[in-house]
């Protein structure tokens, strides 16, 4: 987004819910906008992509309240742009398909405010596609028509049913759930075959998507029986019958599943990406972030003295964040890896688990020691067995790190130096807080993943008013699991401390057809 001093509005479509259906342009705008004005149709998965520092203005309905009036939204867009901001107006689906996009532009045009339109994937075609319904098909329908079922000013829907029936194409009704009976009756009275296939598709492209396929005469009753709720699309036409053979979205290994990933952003995306590839919807809400604690002086001293203490020197890392800060500091000191090896000492590296080991590998170091179990205590035990008597051990980790790591080292008479490199800061989620809390209460999130005890703590700080006993927690190790158990969560633990192992556990627990999967 080219920042323009004068301020500008981007009127963009966020698609029907699945974050994978965002356009590249909208995804980039989400990252770069100063202000994002959004409403209820924008999914939690997409909201979780908004940077914490971005200003968000919610203009959708709040429980029990009316939505912000259109004129008010128009004024907000104008006001923010006039402050010189880059304003992203994010709307469900496509902004010009029943999105009132046109109305939102009128004031901007009048005020001479610059704008761009970014089309989005409309629910009118994408929601049927995710239910295995092609809106056109050469054998069944050569046109499709998108129609609003919304009645203006509380009156009846104004539709010319004879013309609609005469079109002989697929009819897609948006905002039509409450007028379903009126529409279906109108179509049959205008001569449509009562056995014409019809479907209602709820929450399409999202984890909670549901569909009911029936006929024009039976859809209303079946939809009620299933308790179909908005947002939903009603689709009428022969193509609806194809869903029985073309359904696919729910058949994916994690199709229909939704997970909340609480990992810090730097390391979270691999887990999220794997789960998405398997068909899940993933809300990425990092609950912690690491912040360097200005360790320059101590770390610098330690590095200067490194190799002078004894003939064996250990560097101990307990997180990828620690590894990154360590290397940043090396670079700032104007040295690189070779700086560690200038003296005669035998330099050894210990890593708490495979994630930290991967971070080390990226910098050209292979750890000599990784304990079997991912925990501070296990690392301390393993290292006290492995280190030569009297070795000097430099531990570089979080402020107030677990003392269990140090006890075995000290008892073994090793010369331990514990250097705090960073502190853990809890993240808040202004965009997600309310939506995710509702989803947790409604059981719409299958599981929350935790990769450290501090992510559990961060989660409980970000979402306080939640019944934790209803939460299924997938934890990376025993320590993490213990913390989750303290809050009464239902816990399960991955076999190993790695993203692959977490994914494997999730597939075991929540996947379908796992027998056909080949996981290493
Ligand atoms: N601009 C949007 C439509 C806005 S009108 C678009 O292009 O998709 C709102 C209506 O869209 C809802 O009442 C519903 O009929 C439909 N809709 C939007 N998202 C949907 C979804 N994920 N699943 C089912 N229907 C959806």
Residues 6 or more apart whose CB falls under 8 angstroms from that of 506 comprise 254, 259, 275, 447, 449, 474
- Give me the number of domains the chain comprises: 4
- Name the pLDDT band for 517 (thresholds 50, 70, 90): very low
Question: What count of residues does the chain have?
Answer: 520
Segments forming the whole domain that contains residue 370: 290-426
Percent of the chain whose pLDDT exceeds 90 = 70
Per the omega criterion (within 30 degrees of 0), is the bond before 163 cis? Answer: no
139 is catalytic: no
Tokens linked to 373: 């179990």
For residue 443, the domain's CATH number is 3.40.50.10090
Does residue 380 register a pLDDT over 80? yes
Does residue 462 register a pLDDT over 60? yes
Domain boundary among 92, 121, 150: 121
Give a yes or no: residue 308 inside a domain: yes
Q: Span 437-457, mean pLDDT? A: 94
DSSP class per residue in 302-370: HHHHTTSS-SEEEEEE--HHHHHHHHHHHHHTT--GGGGGSSSSEEEEEESSHHHHHHHHHTT---SB-
Same domain, 303 and 407: yes
What is the β-pairing status of strands 415-426 and 288-292? antiparallel
DSSP code, position 242? G
The pLDDT assigned to 511 comes to 96
Q: Is ligand 1 within 6 A of the CB of residue 232?
A: yes
The pLDDT assigned to 272 comes to 92
Domain boundary among 408, 426, 444: 426
Does residue 312 register a pLDDT over 90? no
Percent of the chain whose pLDDT exceeds 70 = 95
Does residue 518 register a pLDDT over 50? no
Same domain, 61 and 143: no
Q: Which of 8, 18, 34, 39 is catalytic?
A: 39
For residue 115, the domain's CATH number is 3.40.1010.10
Domain boundary among 229, 249, 269: 249
| 45 three-state secondary structure | helix
DSSP code, position 66? P
- Name the pLDDT band for 371 (thresholds 50, 70, 90): very high
Instruction: Pick from 178, 229, 231 the residue to mutate for probing ligand 1's pocket: most ligand atoms within 8 Å of its CB.
Output: 231
Strand partners, 118: 12
The residue with tokens 């079922």 is: 149
Same domain, 309 and 383: yes
Q: Span 130-144, mean pLDDT? A: 97
The pLDDT assigned to 154 comes to 62
Same domain, 402 and 305: yes
Same domain, 150 and 188: yes
Same domain, 28 and 101: yes
Give a yes or no: residue 394 inside a domain: yes
Give a yes or no: residue 357 inside a domain: yes
Same domain, 97 and 163: no
Instruction: Pick from 21, 123, 128 the residue to mutate for probing ligand 1's pocket: most ligand atoms within 8 Å of its CB.
Output: 123
Q: Span 316-336, mean pLDDT? A: 88
Same domain, 218 and 300: no
Strand partners, 200: 212, 234
| 18 three-state secondary structure | coil
216 in Cβ contact with 237 (< 8 Å): no
- Name the pLDDT band for 519 (thresholds 50, 70, 90): very low
The pLDDT assigned to 64 comes to 60
Q: Span 361-389, mean pLDDT? A: 92
The pLDDT assigned to 137 comes to 97
Name the strand (E) or helix (H) holding 484. helix 478-486
What is the β-pairing status of strands 232-236 and 197-202? antiparallel
Give a yes or no: residue 1 inside a domain: no
8-17, 103-112, 397-406: least confident range:
397-406
Q: How far apart are CA 75 and CA 508, in angstroms?
A: 50
């Amino acid at each position: 987004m080219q920042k323009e001093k004068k301020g500008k509005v981007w009127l963009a479509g966020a698609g029907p819910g699945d974050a994978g259906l965002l356009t590249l342009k909208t995804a980039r705008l989400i990252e770069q906008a100063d202000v994002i004005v959004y409403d209820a149709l924008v999914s939690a998965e997409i909201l979780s992509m908004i940077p914490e520092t971005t200003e968000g203005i919610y203009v959708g309905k709040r429980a029990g309240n009316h939505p912000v009036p259109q004129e008010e939204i128009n004024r907000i867009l104008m006001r923010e742009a006039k402050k010189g901001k880059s304003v992203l107006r994010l709307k469900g689906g496509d902004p010009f398909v029943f999105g009132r996009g046109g109305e939102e532009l009128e004031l901007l045009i009048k005020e001479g405010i610059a704008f761009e339109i970014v089309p989005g994937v409309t629910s009118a075609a994408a929601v049927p596609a995710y239910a295995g319904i092609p809106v056109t098909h050469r054998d069944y329908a050569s046109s499709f028509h998108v129609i609003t079922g919304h009645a203006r000013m509380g009156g009846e829907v104004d539709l010319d049913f004879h013309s609609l029936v005469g079109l002989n194409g697929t009819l897609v009704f948006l905002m039509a759930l409450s007028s379903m009976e009126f529409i279906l009756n109108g179509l049959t009275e205008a001569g449509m075959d009562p056995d014409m296939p019809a479907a209602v598709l709820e929450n399409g492209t999202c984890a909670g998507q549901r569909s009911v396929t029936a006929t024009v005469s039976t859809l209303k009753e079946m939809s009620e029986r299933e308790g179909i709720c908005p947002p939903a699309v009603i689709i009428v036409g022969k193509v609806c019958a194809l869903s029985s053979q073309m359904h696919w979205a729910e058949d994916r290994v994690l199709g229909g599943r939704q997970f909340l990933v609480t990992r810090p952003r730097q390391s979270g995306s691999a887990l999220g990406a794997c789960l998405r590839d398997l068909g899940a919807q993933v809300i990425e809400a990092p609950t912690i972030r690491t912040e360097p604690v200005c360790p320059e002086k101590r770390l610098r001293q330690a590095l200067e003295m490194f190799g002078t203490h004894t003939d064996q020197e250990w560097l101990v890392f307990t997180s990828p964040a620690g590894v990154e800060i360590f290397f940043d500091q090396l670079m700032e000191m104007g040295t690189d890896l070779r700086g560690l090896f200038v003296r005669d000492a035998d330099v050894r590296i210990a890593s708490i688990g495979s994630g930290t080991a991967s971070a080390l590998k990226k910098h050209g170091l292979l750890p000599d020691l990784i304990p079997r179990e991912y925990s501070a205590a296990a690392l301390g035990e393993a290292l006290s067995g492995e280190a030569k008597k009297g070795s000097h051990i430099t531990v570089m980790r979080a402020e107030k790190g677990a003392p269990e790591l140090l006890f075995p080292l000290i008892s073994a008479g090793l010369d331990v130096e514990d250097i705090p490199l960073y502190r853990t800061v809890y993240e808040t989620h202004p965009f997600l807080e309310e939506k995710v809390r509702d989803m947790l209460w409604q059981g719409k999130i299958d599981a929350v993943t935790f990769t450290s005890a501090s992510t559990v703590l961060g989660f409980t700080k970000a979402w306080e008013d939640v019944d934790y006993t209803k939460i299924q927690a997938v934890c990376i190790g025993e320590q993490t699991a213990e913390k989750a158990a303290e809050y009464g969560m239902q816990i399960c633990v991955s076999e190993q401390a790695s993203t692959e192992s977490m994914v494997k556990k999730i597939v075991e627990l929540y996947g379908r057809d796992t027998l056909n999967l080949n996981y290493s």
